């Protein structure tokens, strides 16, 4: 079991190195390809050496055996003798033929027939001769035959050695009996030579592969090291350390790459600083304008209130103008308030006044407050709570603002459909969803609804809807609490917004108690979860 774990750990480590390390991939691929090339070249060379070595031995052996067979047949023909003396003649012939083999150990001679069988080795007998070889010379007595086989070691060792067997038929003229004359040429020396060559090639090939791997490692390191340095510098730049630069040495391609990288970093730093300065100026401008406009707006509001209260004394056109002025001043005041709130978020001065908030009670209060608007639009408001408190530590004012914004938007764009507000809680999170079944959102719009001044229909008159900052402020409020505000939508199936808050302030949350995609849409199979915005890495 431990061995299996170690093997799995090794495979996992290799897989990680293969995916993440260019140097490891190049070295491993080079070693693999080098090993394949070495094996192919070594096999080809070994095959050629083996063929040449065995072929030369075979030709020499066939020639030697042919001379011995001719000599044996001539000797038998020249001295016919008589049948009674045939065993003696055969024995003498065998001794004459086997003398060179006995002296040099280069070959063995076997002679077998009706009267007797002779062997120059105690280890190799007639039984070692393949029947196939004997059958071939019986079919064609005029020709010799040969084959490869393994025979016992002539030295008496308990092993077998490869051998070349050459057989022919000779006849005794006295009685016209046929005898099988077989030459056995051991190939152990050739086998030993091939073993030496094989070991030499294996050792040389292994050393060559290791040497190639070492050279490739050193070469690729010269390329990978600057790339890794560039990666680390890029990560630091992404983390905001804009002053980081690569160390440039030499004038080669890597040095020019480092120079170009540093120039790019310098340009990015300059542009980012310009954008930061521009953003700071814009935030300051918005904040200053918003504050400066409040004083004259208060004066204008007082005059507008007087005109609006006395509108019954004016003619129709003037009275209508007084009403329009009052409505536009309301929108202007709302816009200024939203701009001031956005400027607080941008300046990082927004703070929370934490208290215990029950999302169920809050939802019921807001439904009661927005009920007149919902009745005018013909949108029934439904609240679904789990029957138990769904409390979280939060800023009551900010959470009410988020939920009010979501409910009012659902009424405005729900086109008279049912609007469902659902509340749920888990051990570490509380959530609220607002679902309408109106026109919905296009594929890419849920990632845009939280942008400042964004509108689903740019052609829609600015007199309808809010300031375009409500959802942007709502998202910032949710982030300030350490929570998420997410959107789902699909054309023809409405929208759903989900607010998720930690039950204890400052605690991380990784899952919301409520799904982002409505259950009725998932059951029908018409909805897809693509239209969503996971702000803060939340999961459904």
CATH code of 110's domain: 3.30.450
**Measured CA distances, 246 to 232, 253, 315, 409 (Å):** 9, 14, 76, 51
User: Could you tell me if residue 403 is inside a domain?
Assistant: yes
For residues 367 and 501, membership in a common domain is answered with yes
Residue 369 has pLDDT above 70, yes or no: yes
- pLDDT (0 to 100) of residue 422: 92
Highest average pLDDT, of 305-314, 337-346, 451-460, 501-510, comes from 501-510
- pLDDT (0 to 100) of residue 114: 66
> At 527, is the pLDDT very low, low, confident or very high (cuts 50, 70, 90)?
very low
User: Could you tell me if residue 24 is inside a domain?
Assistant: no
CATH number at residue 274: 1.10.287.130
CA atoms of 410 and 534, how far apart (whole Å) = 20
Count CB atoms within 10 A of the CB of residue 294.
14
For residues 162 and 136, membership in a common domain is answered with yes
| Domain-terminating residue out of 335, 350, 365 | 350
| Domain-terminating residue out of 316, 350, 384 | 350
| Domain-terminating residue out of 350, 369, 397 | 350
Query: Tokens 């002679």 appear where?
Result: 111
CA atoms of 78 and 173, how far apart (whole Å) = 9
Rg (CA), the chain: 50
Ranges of beta strands (E only) in 293-414 are 354-358, 381-384, 391-395
Length of the chain in residues, anyone? 540
Highest average pLDDT, of 84-88, 165-169, 304-308, 442-446, comes from 165-169
CA dihedral 288, 290, 292, 294 (to 10 degrees): -160
The sign one gets for the Cα dihedral 344, 463, 399, 517 is: negative
For residues 378 and 398, membership in a common domain is answered with yes
Range of the domain at 312: 249-350
Residue 524 has pLDDT above 60, yes or no: no
For residues 397 and 510, membership in a common domain is answered with yes
User: Could you tell me if residue 101 is inside a domain?
Assistant: yes
For residues 275 and 419, membership in a common domain is answered with no
User: Could you tell me if residue 20 is inside a domain?
Assistant: no
For residues 464 and 439, membership in a common domain is answered with yes
Residue 333 has pLDDT above 90, yes or no: no
CA atoms of 401 and 399, how far apart (whole Å) = 5
- pLDDT (0 to 100) of residue 92: 67
65 near 73, Cβ under 8 Å? Answer: no
Element (H, E) at 177: strand 177-186
Residue 490 has pLDDT above 90, yes or no: no
160 near 153, Cβ under 8 Å? Answer: yes
CA atoms of 110 and 98, how far apart (whole Å) = 9
Compute the average pLDDT of residues 340-362.
80
Q: What is the mean pLDDT of the chain?
A: 79
User: Could you tell me if residue 243 is inside a domain?
Assistant: no
Residue 312 has pLDDT above 60, yes or no: yes
At 241-274, the pLDDT tens digits run: 877 887 787 777 777 878 888 888 888 888 888 8
- pLDDT (0 to 100) of residue 522: 61
- What angle in degrees, to the nearest 10, is found between the helix axes of 22-78 and 86-104? 150
User: Could you tell me if residue 14 is inside a domain?
Assistant: no
Cα atoms in the 13 Å half-sphere on the side-chain side of 403:
30
Q: What is the domain count for the chain?
A: 3
- pLDDT (0 to 100) of residue 238: 78
For residues 181 and 301, membership in a common domain is answered with no
> At 98, is the pLDDT very low, low, confident or very high (cuts 50, 70, 90)?
low
For residues 416 and 515, membership in a common domain is answered with yes
For residues 507 and 372, membership in a common domain is answered with yes
- pLDDT (0 to 100) of residue 532: 39
CA dihedral 406, 457, 330, 285 (to 10 degrees): 100
Residue 175 has pLDDT above 80, yes or no: no
- pLDDT (0 to 100) of residue 120: 62
Compute the average pLDDT of residues 437-462.
72
For residues 308 and 364, membership in a common domain is answered with no
Residues whose CB falls within 8 Å of the CB of residue 427, separated by 6 or more in sequence, listed in order: 503
Residue 104 has pLDDT above 50, yes or no: no
- pLDDT (0 to 100) of residue 342: 73
CA atoms of 170 and 115, how far apart (whole Å) = 13
CA dihedral 399, 403, 406, 409 (to 10 degrees): -110
CATH number at residue 449: 3.30.565.10
Q: Which two tokens stand for residue 150?
A: 């393994």
307 near 324, Cβ under 8 Å? Answer: no
Query: Tokens 């459909």 appear where?
Result: 417
Residue 539 has pLDDT above 50, yes or no: no
Q: Which of 453, 516, 456, 509 is nearest to 478 (CA)?
A: 509
- pLDDT (0 to 100) of residue 174: 61
Q: State whether residue 75 is helix, strand or coil.
A: helix
User: 186 - beta bridge partners?
Assistant: 163
> At 499, is the pLDDT very low, low, confident or very high (cuts 50, 70, 90)?
very high
User: Could you tell me if residue 331 is inside a domain?
Assistant: yes
126 near 110, Cβ under 8 Å? Answer: yes
The angle at the Cα of 174, spanning 168 to 177, to the nearest 5 degrees, equals: 40
Q: Which two tokens stand for residue 50?
A: 């083996």
Q: Which of 378, 432, 376, 426 is nearest to 405 (CA)?
A: 432
For residues 153 and 178, membership in a common domain is answered with yes
User: Could you tell me if residue 144 is inside a domain?
Assistant: yes
For residues 375 and 334, membership in a common domain is answered with no
Residue 530 has pLDDT above 50, yes or no: no
Q: Which two tokens stand for residue 231?
A: 């990666």
């Amino acid at each position: 079991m431990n061995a299996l774990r170690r093997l799995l750990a090794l495979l996992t480590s290799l897989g990680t190195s293969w995916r993440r390390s260019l140097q490891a991939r190049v070295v491993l691929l080079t070693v693999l390809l080098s090993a394949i090339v070495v094996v192919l070249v070594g096999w080809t060379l070994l095959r050629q050496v083996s063929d040449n070595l065995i072929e030369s031995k075979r030709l020499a052996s066939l020639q030697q055996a042919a001379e011995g067979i001719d000599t044996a047949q001539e000797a038998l023909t020249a001295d016919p003798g008589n049948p009674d003396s045939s065993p003696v003649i055969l024995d003498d012939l065998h001794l004459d033929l086997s003398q060179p083999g006995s002296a040099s150990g280069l070959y063995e001679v076997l002679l077998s027939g009706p009267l007797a069988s002779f062997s120059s080795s105690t280890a190799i007998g007639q039984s070692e001769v393949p029947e196939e070889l004997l059958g071939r010379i019986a079919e064609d007595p005029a020709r010799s035959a040969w084959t490869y086989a393994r025979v016992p070691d002539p030295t008496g060792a308990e092993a077998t050695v490869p051998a070349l067997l050459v057989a022919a038929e000779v006849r005794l003229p006295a009685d016209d009996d046929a005898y099988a004359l077989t030459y056995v040429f051991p190939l152990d020396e050739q086998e030993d030579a091939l073993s030496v060559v094989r070991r030499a090639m294996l050792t040389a090939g292994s050393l060559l592969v290791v040497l190639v791997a070492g050279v490739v490692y050193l070469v690729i390191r010269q390329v990978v090291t600057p790339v890794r340095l560039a990666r680390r510098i890029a990560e630091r730049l992404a983390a905001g350390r804009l002053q980081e630069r690569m160390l440039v040495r030499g004038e080669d391609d890597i040095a020019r790459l480092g120079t170009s990288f540093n120039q790019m970093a310098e340009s990015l730093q300059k542009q980012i600083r310009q954008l930061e300065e521009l953003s700071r100026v814009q935030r300051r401008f918005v904040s200053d304008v918003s504050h400066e406009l409040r004083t004259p707006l208060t004066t204008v509001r007082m005059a507008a209130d007087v005109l609006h209260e006395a509108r019954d004394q004016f003619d129709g056109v003037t009275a209508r103008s007084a009403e329009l002025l009052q409505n536009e001043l309301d929108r202007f005041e709302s816009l200024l308030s939203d701009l001031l709130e956005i400027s607080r978020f941008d300046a990082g001065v927004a703070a929370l006044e934490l208290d215990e908030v029950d999302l169920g009670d809050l939802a019921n209060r807001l439904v009661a407050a927005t009920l007149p608007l919902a009745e005018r639009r013909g949108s029934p408001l439904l609240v679904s709570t789990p029957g138990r408190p769904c409390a979280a530590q939060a800023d009551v004012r900010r959470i009410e603002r988020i939920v009010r914004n979501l409910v009012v938007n659902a009424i405005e764009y729900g086109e008279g459909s049912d609007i469902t507000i659902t509340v749920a809680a888990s051990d570490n999170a509380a959530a609220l969803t607002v679902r309408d079944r109106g026109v919905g959102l296009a594929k890419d719009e849920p990632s845009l609804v939280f942008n400042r001044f964004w509108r689903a229909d740019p052609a829609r008159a600015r007199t309808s809807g809010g300031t375009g900052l409500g959802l942007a402020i709502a998202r910032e409020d949710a982030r300030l609490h350490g929570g998420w505000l997410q959107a789902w939508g699909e054309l023809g199936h409405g929208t759903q917004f989900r607010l998720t808050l930690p039950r204890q302030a400052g605690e991380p949350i990784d899952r919301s108690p409520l799904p982002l995609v409505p259950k009725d849409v998932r059951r029908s199979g018409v909805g897809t979860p693509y239209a969503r915005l996971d702000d803060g890495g939340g999961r459904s």
